[in-house]
A = this chain, B = another copy of it.
């Protein structure tokens, strides 16, 4: 292991610092998480860790050091830095002295073979990174396969998204696609594409989601574009009783995913766990 890095201008440190920008994350296929909780989650789920960054002076407590030991046993590189260097990498008021550089994992839609009972979420122009992370987390909880990101959807490897996912971005299947490609894939594999809109006639609780499903969600501000709605096999709405005319995107997605799960389990009671 090379010695303690004490220069904030160190080339490696500069490259890691640049991962705070989406552009650099996309160029390198890497991302950066900090904090004991996030790093422990990444180690626990065996996320593809490129390197750990540790500041021995700042890192307190057994949990964090256990994660370092476990990563070392898996031959993960550990970069030791002094406190001033760590502070240039951290976005926190109270940095915890531990961070990780992780490799993003993406699949290509054309390589995905959806089986019976599989559910995918497709997000069109979802702007809020926290919502994306929460949706990935809910996919994991409901046994959905993964998330397909369309158009100008925010980055699931944004630090805010990763935190909201509580580690699920590292175990979930993530795909970037265009809508025409998604539609073609859905048709080729017999997936039912179910979109949501406030004015759709069918209630999300009575709709038939089919054996293989894409749940297609529009942005909170603009909803699903007309052309996307027209291309869906069915459109469903979530009833609303108050002044508000929309729900938070992650809440709305959670409602639909749980309805799909519920219908699947009702149909196949023998497979209930």
Cα(A223)–Cα(B99), bound, Å:
27
Contact with B along A220-250 (1 / 0, CB 8 A): 0000000000000000001111111011101
| Interface membership of A137, Cβ < 8 A | yes
Please state if A251 and B134 are interface contacts (CB–CB under 8 Å): yes
Cα(A78)–Cα(B261), bound, Å:
52
Q: Which residues from chain B contact A8 at a C-beta distance below 8 Å?
A: none
| Interface membership of A29, Cβ < 8 A | no
Number of copies: 2
Q: Give the bracket for the number of chain A residues in contact with chain B.
A: 35 or more
Please state if B168 and A243 are interface contacts (CB–CB under 8 Å): yes
Cα(A142)–Cα(B238), bound, Å:
10
Q: Which residues from chain B contact A243 at a C-beta distance below 8 Å?
A: 45, 140, 168, 171
Q: Which residue of B lies closest to A140 (CB)?
A: B242
Give which listed residue, B141, B238, B244, B248, contacts A247 with CB less than 8 A: B141
Cα(A171)–Cα(B242), bound, Å:
10
Give which listed residue, B140, B240, B241, B265, contacts A244 with CB less than 8 A: B140
Cα(A240)–Cα(B246), bound, Å:
26
Contact A248 to B171, CB < 8 A, known contacts A143-B241, A241-B261:
no
- Known: A143-B241, A143-B242; 4 extra A-B contacts, CB below 8 A, are A137-B248, A141-B241, A250-B251, A254-B255
Cα(A223)–Cα(B169), bound, Å:
23
Please state if A141 and B258 are interface contacts (CB–CB under 8 Å): no
Q: Which 3 residue pairs across A and B have the least CB separation, nearest first? A: A143-B241, A140-B242, A251-B254
Cα(A241)–Cα(B145), bound, Å:
11
| Interface membership of A194, Cβ < 8 A | no
Cα(A137)–Cα(B251), bound, Å:
10
| Interface membership of A40, Cβ < 8 A | no
Give which listed residue, B142, B168, B248, B261, contacts A134 with CB less than 8 A: B248
Give which listed residue, B138, B240, B241, B244, contacts A248 with CB less than 8 A: B138
| Interface membership of A130, Cβ < 8 A | yes
Cα(A265)–Cα(B247), bound, Å:
19
Q: Which residue of B lies closest to A134 (CB)?
A: B248
